[in-house]
Amino acid sequence: MITRIGAIVPAAGRGERLGAGRPKALVEIEGAPILVHTVRAIRSVPEIGRLVILVEPEAVERARQVLAPELRGGPEWQCAGGGADRQESVWRGLQILGGAVDVAVVHDAARPLVSPALIAECARVAAERGAAIAAVPVTDTVKELDAEGCVVQTLDRTRLWCAQTPQAFRFALLQRAHERALREGWRATDDAALVERDGVRVWVVLGERANLKITAPEDLAWAAWWLRSRRDLR
Ligand code: CTP
Ligand code: MG
């Protein structure tokens, strides 16, 4: 059987920490909005047949205009308004995808440097095993602090990994976890946390250090440099 794969791109954040005065997804790096770089990576994965992008409700029209030329001849796509937080934006994406796919890959708009190969690998492992996320080993030593800012303990780094997106799941399994989260009031900053809490094993695929989440202004310069060097290599 052919696995039908869909992608959900939460892009409805306000980008408070970036402080650009407009939605982070529409801030440009190397001549194109962050969201366009992200969508180009997804479009380069031929297995992805459907794509749902969630943006701030007021930015839906603008985003559609920006995305249309990028997605011509590509997957079936929709752009809709996101929710008040990331979890709600993904939930809306799930409802739009409905039962049309077997595997859903969630990838943050704020990670435009992801490689198509990493997206494809997460989807492949999720189709096989149920749930797969990209993550990289922690390189700093991690401390737990008390409320006063004093170290309580040093954690064992060898077992700590930083979760990224892409995060891919069999559709039914992700939908069930989100439904349960709604019922039971769980809040999480990634989808895997909900799926884990629902009792499902989540497999880790080695992520990419370059797959940085654009968060603060200095990340823009780094991302621009990376995109330029990647272009020069081709
Ligand atoms: N996101 C979303 N809907 C929200 C909030 C966040 O779709 N209501 C998305 C963001 O657009 C981003 C991803 O979730 O692609 C990760 O969020 P984050 O990096 O925190 O982005 P922002 O929320 O935009 O940034 P900040 O927290 O600095 O405001
Ligand atoms: Mg945020």
Q: Which ligand is nearest to the CA of 190?
A: 1
Q: Is the pTM of this model over 0.85?
A: yes
Q: Which of 213, 210, 211, 183 is nearest to 197 (CA)?
A: 183
pLDDT band at 80 (very low <50, low <70, confident <90, very high): very high
pLDDT digit string, tens, across residues 197-222: 999 999 999 999 999 999 999 999 99
CA of 233 to the centre of ligand 2 (A): 33
**pLDDT score of 233 more than 90:** no
Predicted confidence (pLDDT) at residue 99 exceeds the cutoff of 90: no
**Which candidate, 165, 4, 7, places its Cα nearest to that of 77?**
7
Q: Which ligand is nearest to the CA of 89?
A: 1
Residue 1 has pLDDT above 80, yes or no: no
List 33's β-bridge partners, or say none: 28
End-to-end CA distance of the chain: 36
- Tell whether ligand 1 has an atom less than 6 A from the beta carbon of residue 12: yes
Q: Is the peptide bond before 166 cis (omega within 30 degrees of 0)?
A: yes
Write the pLDDT tens digit of every residue in 158-190.
999 999 999 999 999 999 999 999 999 999 999
